[in-house]
A = this chain, B = another copy of it.
Amino acid sequence: MELILDDAFFMRKALQEAEAAFDLGEVPVGAVITVRDRVIARAHNLTEKLNDVTAHAEMQAITAAANFLGGKYLTDCTLYVTLEPCQMCAGALYWSQVSRVVYGAPDPQRGFTAMGGKLHPRTLVTPGILEAEAAALLKRFFIERRNLN
């Protein structure tokens, strides 16, 4: 069976990260960063565990990718993230000059488009990859959390 390294393939890796966050009781968002179809960073939301609002999946992935590359610019990289980035993460992606941002579910409340944030003008954006899966995982998380309280 041939492995097809398309956006859905890498978004599935990001979804695996989101599931890892879910299992830890974190809002289930996951991210991976690739360079030429190679994953160089993966991360999931850890804001509860680390008691740190900056510990979004994207932020950790950006730091890890820059560490891997030995440079702070991600100009040849693609970030896959299961949920539309917030303005903080959009801001970090802006500074990183990342080539592409591919995301799953939109975030009409706190996504960067709703909040008025901006990516770098050279960054291409592809929304809606495995959107249903990412949204279903988030919905399940919030239903379960509501039932616990």
Contact = CB atoms under 8 A, between A and B. Distances in A.
A135 to B, nearest CB: 21
A100 to B, nearest CB: 17
Given A87-B87, A87-B118, A117-B87, A92 B51 contact: no
A25 interface: no
B53 A66 contact: yes
A34 interface: no
Interface stretch (A13-21, A67-75, A126-134): A67-75
A138 interface: no
Contact residues on A (Cβ < 8 Å of other chain), bracket: 20 to 34
A63 B67 contact: no
Contacts of A117: 87, 91, 115-117
A62 interface: yes
A73 B48 CA distance: 11
A97 to B, nearest CB: 9
Interface string A49-84: 001111000010011001100111100000000000
Q: Across the A-B interface, give the 3 residue pairs with the lowest CB-CB distance, nearest first.
A: A88-B91, A116-B116, A53-B95
22 contacts: A47-B72, A47-B95, A51-B66, A52-B63, A52-B66, A53-B62, A53-B66, A53-B92, A53-B96, A54-B92, A87-B88, A87-B94, A87-B117, A87-B118, A88-B89, A88-B91, A88-B95, A115-B117, A115-B118, A116-B116, A116-B117, A116-B118
